[in-house]
Amino acid sequence: MEIKVRIPEAIKAHVDRPDLDIESLVLDLLISELKLDPDTEVKAHAELAAKFLEEGLKMIDRDPVQACEKLYKAAEEAVKALTLKQLGDIARRVRERGRWRTDDFFEAVSELRRVYGDNIRRWWDTAWNLHVWGFHEAKATRRYVEERIEDVKRLVEMVKGLEG
Task: Give the mean pLDDT of 57-69.
Answer: 97
Mean pLDDT of the chain: 90
**Domain range spanning residue 139?**
27-163
Q: Is residue 21 part of a domain?
A: no
For residue 113, the domain's CATH number is: 1.20.120.330
Q: Count of domains in the chain?
A: 1
Task: Give the mean pLDDT of 69-75.
Answer: 97
- pLDDT tier for residue 79 given thresholds of 50, 70 and 90: very high
Full-model pTM: 0.87
Residue 127 identity: A
Q: Is residue 13 part of a domain?
A: no
Q: Is residue 17 part of a domain?
A: no
Q: Is residue 69 part of a domain?
A: yes
Half-sphere exposure of residue 60, counting CA atoms within 13 Å on the CB side? 16
Looking at the chain, the whole-number percentage of residues with pLDDT higher than 90 is 68
Check if the beta carbon of residue 145 is closer than 8 Å to that of residue 68: yes
Q: Pick the residue with more confidence: 98 or 143?
A: 143
Q: Is residue 153 part of a domain?
A: yes
The angle at the Cα of 106, spanning 15 to 60, to the nearest 5 degrees, equals 55
Looking at the chain, the whole-number percentage of residues with pLDDT higher than 70 is 96
Q: pLDDT tens digit string along 88-136? A: 999 999 988 888 899 999 999 999 999 999 999 999 999 999 999 999 9
CA 141/CA 64 separation, integer angstroms: 6
User: What is the chain's alpha carbon radius of gyration, rounded to the nearest angstrom?
Assistant: 16
Task: Give the mean pLDDT of 54-73.
Answer: 97
Q: Is residue 48 part of a domain?
A: yes
Check if the beta carbon of residue 49 is closer than 8 Å to that of residue 77: yes
Residue-wise over 129-153: b if at least 16 C-beta within 10 A, else e?
Answer: bbbeebbeeeebeeebbeebbebbb
pLDDT of residue 152: 98
CA 104/CA 71 separation, integer angstroms: 19
CA 108/CA 121 separation, integer angstroms: 10
Q: Is residue 14 part of a domain?
A: no
Task: Give the mean pLDDT of 141-156.
Answer: 97
For residue 54, pLDDT beyond 80? yes
Picking from 109, 103, 104, 78, the residue whose alpha carbon sits closest to that of residue 91 is 104
pLDDT of residue 6: 80
Integer angstrom CA distances of residue 153 from 8, 57, 75, 98: 36, 10, 8, 28
Check if the beta carbon of residue 112 is closer than 8 Å to that of residue 137: no
Q: Is residue 6 part of a domain?
A: no
pLDDT of residue 31: 76
CA 134/CA 122 separation, integer angstroms: 17
pLDDT of residue 164: 53
CA 85/CA 80 separation, integer angstroms: 9
